[in-house]
Amino acid sequence: MNETSPSSTATSTVLHRVPFYETDAMGVVHHSNYVRYLELARIRWMDEHHRPYREYIAEDRHFATTRVEVDYKRVTRFDEEISIRCWLEWVRGASLRLAYRLDTSEGMVAIAATEHALVDSNGRVRRIPAADREQLKSGVEKRGR
Amino acid sequence: MNETSPSSTATSTVLHRVPFYETDAMGVVHHSNYVRYLELARIRWMDEHHRPYREYIAEDRHFATTRVEVDYKRVTRFDEEISIRCWLEWVRGASLRLAYRLDTSEGMVAIAATEHALVDSNGRVRRIPAADREQLKSGVEKRGR
Amino acid sequence: MNETSPSSTATSTVLHRVPFYETDAMGVVHHSNYVRYLELARIRWMDEHHRPYREYIAEDRHFATTRVEVDYKRVTRFDEEISIRCWLEWVRGASLRLAYRLDTSEGMVAIAATEHALVDSNGRVRRIPAADREQLKSGVEKRGR
Amino acid sequence: MNETSPSSTATSTVLHRVPFYETDAMGVVHHSNYVRYLELARIRWMDEHHRPYREYIAEDRHFATTRVEVDYKRVTRFDEEISIRCWLEWVRGASLRLAYRLDTSEGMVAIAATEHALVDSNGRVRRIPAADREQLKSGVEKRGR
């Protein structure tokens, strides 16, 4: 994963104030919750830079998660505000990859990436419609990856 | 809720060893998780004393939860083993009520109750089939409630 | 629980947009998540009408949950916005009770109540400091309960 | 990640029957839950091949998670039984890496890996005690990684 943040690409940011129920007995947010925070950010990203995920669902299409990677840099605690920034890394015929950076006012919390395949409710892989794919590609970072 | 345990009724018990991810920053299991433990126990209860819940699902029937009550008596911590005991309190035309008692070797952790309505996947209330209802009634506690 | 909403008391409202990860295979928010939503609302209530919960934590005081009741009226789905309103029902020497009403634009989703005891990190019950208790009492609904 | 399973190393396996509350509105287990399943397996691995994690906690030591990777191969559903197998990939002065393979009777569900740093409750990195490290090394796969 590339730790730097995107310079010239469409990003979305969600702010999340840590609820007590996401902390664990180490006194910090349990690491599994960050995987959920990524979902908050990519739903927002679709709202802002593509089209609402609920439209895909209404068409019986789901972006099934096929890979998750998270590198944890710093713990967070109850009541801290985390920003989760999301951007698109690539899009292919039936799949795409999103990247994420999580921060608090104290510094970087984590970097992450997720990959997704478009499937129908029977789990069959389906091509991303050409118009959607073109629109998505226009949001991919332009730095030569 | 009746704090005593059932004397002459069909009960089921699930054992659950507390994972770290169910603890919170007070160092104990977050109270919301006990609501999930109740589900583990009633699924087991259906397996052992009625019929598997997955059969209902296959028939497009779900026992939607309409009420939850939990009285918390004692905290539990990572790696403790909790027993969750479940029994049926009553059954009506389209609904039923289950009771629960949670314990560790240290003593009573909580008592609880849940009420459920049978619905289809459109959320419409459906009568519990007569044969199922009769079978369920035979499992209700016999203490004159 | 009193289904009507408070007329002349201090309330706080949190808005929560349903993430996909809080839905279940019935296609709706799993009922256990509403217990977590209550926590979001009471943390906000403390911020707005009492003092921040993180101050209690810093003083080694926690409002341990001793009772939860939820009556579910209507299901909610991915991407719906739920408002969770919270107000104080009563306060005693070492405990208090909060009430809640959850709504979407479609109507009432649930009513709920939680009871809490003030404890230290050893789990010992501690009196609510007199000044805090008086301030809390001033926020209790004035309708003769 | 190496998709093959370990041939000559100490592994532990946990069986987990999918609760309804871990499913999502796609009708399958939400991908974030697998990150939690990994924890179940590594706690078991420590019990069986090292020493109980609760001993570390009692000594104010925690294996903070510094990286998670999961490759998802197949969805799972309510009531399916998942086996989660865990083994140690490497151990260093203050960190270690575990690998995982998840299966149902239908086939492989996911492969995964987690990395952990030993920290105290202030978050300071601490060396793994030499005796523990030696014992851990003896459990590392012998295939030349």
Query: Is residue C6 pLDDT above 80, yes or no?
Result: no
pLDDT at B138: 87
Percent of chain C whose predicted confidence (pLDDT) is above 90: 88
C-alpha to C-alpha distance for D123 and A110, rounded to whole angstroms: 16
Chain D contact for B57, CB < 8 A? yes
Within 8 A of D20 by CB-CB distance, chain C residues are 24-25, 30
In sequence order, the 6+-apart residues with CB closer than 8 A to the CB of C124 are none
Written as tens digits, the pLDDT of chain B (145 aa) is 555 556 557 999 999 999 999 999 999 999 999 999 999 999 999 999 999 999 999 999 999 999 999 999 999 999 999 999 999 999 999 999 999 999 999 999 999 999 999 999 999 999 999 999 999 998 775 544 4
Which residues, other chains included, contact B144 with Cβ-Cβ below 8 Å and sequence gap of 6+?
Answer: none
- Please tell me the predicted confidence (pLDDT) of residue D143: 47
Backbone angles phi and psi of C45, in degrees to 5: -60, -45
State pLDDT tens for residues B43-61: 999 999 999 999 999 999 9
pLDDT of residue D69: 98
List the single residue in A19, A53, A79 with the smallest CB-CB distance to C36.
A19
> In which residue are the tokens 């909580």 written?
B110
3-state secondary structure (DSSP) of residue D137: helix
Does B62 sit within 8 Å of C31, measured CB to CB?
Answer: no
User: Domain B11-137 maps to which CATH number in 3.40.50.300, 3.60.15.10, 3.10.129.10, 3.10.450.50?
Assistant: 3.10.129.10
Residue ranges per structural domain of chain D = 11-137
Which chain D residues are closer than 8 Å to C78 by Cβ?
25
Q: Residue C20 is nearest to which of A19, A39, A52, comparing CB atoms?
A: A39
Query: Closest Cα partner for C36 from A131, D97, B22, A34?
Result: B22
With contact defined as 3+ CB pairs under 8 Å, the chains touching A are B, C, D
pLDDT band for position C145 (cuts 50, 70, 90): very low
Q: Give the pLDDT confidence of A43-54 residue by residue, as tens digits.
A: 999 999 999 999
Q: Going along chain C, which residue ranges are E strands?
A: 11-17, 62-72, 81-91, 95-104, 107-119
Element at B103 (helix H, strand E): strand B95-104
Q: CA of D118 to nearest chain C CA: how many angstroms apart?
A: 24
User: In this structure, are residues A68 and D31 in contact, taking their beta carbons and an 8 Å threshold?
Assistant: yes
Is the minimum CB–CB distance between B60 and chain A shorter than 8 Å? Answer: no
- Search chain C and give the residue with CA nearest A63: C20
Say whether pLDDT at A143 is over 50. Answer: no
Amino acid at C15: L
Contact C39 B27 (CB under 8 A): no
Q: Which stretches of chain D score pLDDT less than 50?
A: 143-145
- Helix C31-49 and helix B31-49: axis angle, to 10°? 160
In this complex, is the C-beta atom of C79 within 8 Å of any C-beta atom belonging to chain D?
no
- For residue C32, the chain B residues in CB contact (below 8 A) are 32-33, 35-36, 39
**What's the gap between Cα C85 and its chain centre?**
8
Q: What is the pLDDT of residues C74-109, one digit of tens each?
A: 999 999 999 999 999 999 999 999 999 999 999 999
- CB spacing of B75 vs C36 below 8 angstroms: no
C-alpha closest to that of C57 among A109, A81, B27, B19: B27
The residue behind tokens 């991810």 is B21
Which element (helix H / strand E) includes D65? strand D62-72
Secondary structure of residue A104 in the 3-state scheme? strand
Q: Summarize pLDDT for A58-84 with one digit per residue, the tens.
A: 999 999 999 999 999 999 999 999 999
Contact indicator for D109, D74 with CB cutoff of 8 Å:
yes
Q: A145 pLDDT exceeds 80?
A: no
Cα distance from A92 to chain C (closest Cα, Å)?
A: 24
Smallest CA-to-CA distance from D44 within A133, B37, B3, B19 is with: B19
Q: Where do we find the tokens 């309804």?
A: D20
Chains that touch B (3 or more CB pairs under 8 A): A, C, D
pLDDT digits (tens, 9 = 90+) for A28-48: 999 999 999 999 999 999 999
pLDDT given at position C140: 79
Any chain C CB within 8 A of the CB of B67? yes
- Min Cα–Cα distance to chain D from A138, Å: 27
Which of C12, C21, C28 is the best mutation test for A, with the most CBs of A within 10 A? Answer: C21
Q: What is the ipTM of this complex?
A: 0.92
C-alpha distance from residue B117 to each of B98, B136, C120 (Å): 12, 14, 40
Q: Distance from CA of residue A72 to its chain's centroid?
A: 15
CA B104 – CA A23 distance, rounded (Å) = 23
**Residues 35-54 (C) with a CB less than 8 A from some CB of A:** 36, 39-40, 43, 52-54
The answer to whether the beta carbons of residues D99 and D6 sit under 8 Å apart is yes
- What residue type is assigned to position C72 of the chain? Y
Each residue of C37-61: pLDDT tens digit?
A: 999 999 999 999 999 999 999 999 9
Question: Which residues, other chains included, contact B73 with Cβ-Cβ below 8 Å and sequence gap of 6+?
Answer: B107, B108, B109, B110, B111
Nearest CA in chain A to D115: A71
Residue A32 has its nearest CB partner, among B21, B25, B27, at: B21
- The DSSP call for residue C97 is E
CB contact under 8 A, B64 and C72: yes
pLDDT at D6: 67
d(CA D42, CA D84): 9
Specify the CATH number of the domain C11-126. Answer: 3.10.129.10
Specify the long-range contacts of residues D51-54, CB closer than 8 Å, at least 24 apart.
D51/D132, D52/B79, D53/B20, D53/B79, D54/B78, D54/B79
| Cβ pair C143, C90 in contact under 8 A | no
Cβ contacts of A36 on chain D, cutoff 8 Å = 32
Q: Give the pLDDT confidence of D29-67 residue by residue, as tens digits.
A: 999 999 999 999 999 999 999 999 999 999 999 999 999
